[in-house]
């Protein structure tokens, strides 16, 4: 099974709401629930979907200071250093980068003092050097969603959604067809009598 348009649409829905039910996905996709379950199961097995998580408002849980940190790590010990870095409380995401500084990571702490203490006592001793800290002043846009649909696929998805909504809006109420047919028949009889 490949990542076709149906899989991409399912992924988009899951990214928007990781708690969406299979039933809601089937309604949105016009597919059988068994198909949706099979597709999601496949994507989990293939590690296309690596997990489901909650997005935490860091300041609301006391993590008032966030930073992007760039540093240098010897290439020979990069894997060992990053494995140890994963265990440091407050380190959120770790990246191997190109250029002079080959390591970048996001970090959250209660305040500047805690951040400095963590860098000095827990991160630097791992062999991380030439540390440059960029404090995040404002989170302009934080998203976990990756747009995997092409412009055309997204437009097609929106068009189908509009058509579905229009079909629901114009769906006749129970008995409405019979009434319409009766009125049409009365009109035909009226024309004949005149």
pLDDT tens digit string along 31-44?
999 999 999 999 99
In which band, very low, low, confident or very high, does the pLDDT at 194 lie, cut at 50, 70 and 90? very low
In which band, very low, low, confident or very high, does the pLDDT at 20 lie, cut at 50, 70 and 90? very high
Query: Do 32 and 67 belong to one domain?
Result: no
Query: Do 100 and 156 belong to one domain?
Result: no
pTM above 0.75, yes or no: no
Q: Give the domain range for residue 155.
A: 150-194
Average pLDDT taken over every residue of the chain: 87
Query: CB atoms < 10 A from the CB of 108, how many?
Result: 21
Query: Do 12 and 67 belong to one domain?
Result: no
Name the token pair of 85: 């870095």
Flag whether 127 is in a domain.
yes
Flag whether 140 is in a domain.
no
Which CATH number characterizes residue 101's domain? Answer: 3.30.70.920
Question: Where a domain ends, among 14, 31, 53?
Answer: 53
Query: Do 41 and 63 belong to one domain?
Result: no
Which CATH number characterizes residue 45's domain? Answer: 1.10.10.10
**Is there a contact between 131 and 123 (Cβ–Cβ < 8 Å)?**
yes
Query: Do 160 and 127 belong to one domain?
Result: no
- In angstroms, the CA 157 to CA 151 distance is 10
Mode of pairing for the β-strands spanning 65-72 and 129-135: antiparallel
């Amino acid at each position: 099974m490949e990542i076709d348009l149906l899989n991409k649409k399912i992924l988009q829905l899951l990214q928007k709401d990781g708690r969406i039910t299979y039933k809601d996905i089937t309604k949105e996709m016009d597919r059988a629930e068994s198909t949706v379950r099979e597709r999601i199961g496949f994507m989990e097995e293939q590690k296309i979907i690596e997990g489901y998580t909650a997005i935490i408002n860091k300041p609301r849980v006391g993590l008032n200071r966030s930073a992007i940190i760039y540093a240098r790590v010897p290439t020979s010990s990069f894997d060992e250093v990053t494995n140890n870095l994963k265990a440091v409380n407050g380190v959120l995401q770790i990246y191997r980068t190109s250029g002079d500084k080959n390591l970048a990571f996001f970090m959250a702490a209660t305040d500047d003092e805690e951040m400095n203490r963590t860098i000095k006592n827990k991160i630097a001793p791992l062999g991380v050097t030439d540390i440059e800290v960029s404090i995040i002043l404002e989170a302009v846009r934080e998203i976990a969603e990756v747009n995997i649909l092409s412009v055309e696929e997204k437009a097609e998805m929106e068009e189908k959604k509009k058509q579905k909504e229009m079909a629901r809006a114009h769906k006749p109420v129970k008995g409405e067809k019979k009434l319409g047919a009766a009125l049409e028949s009365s009109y035909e009889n009226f024309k004949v009598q005149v």
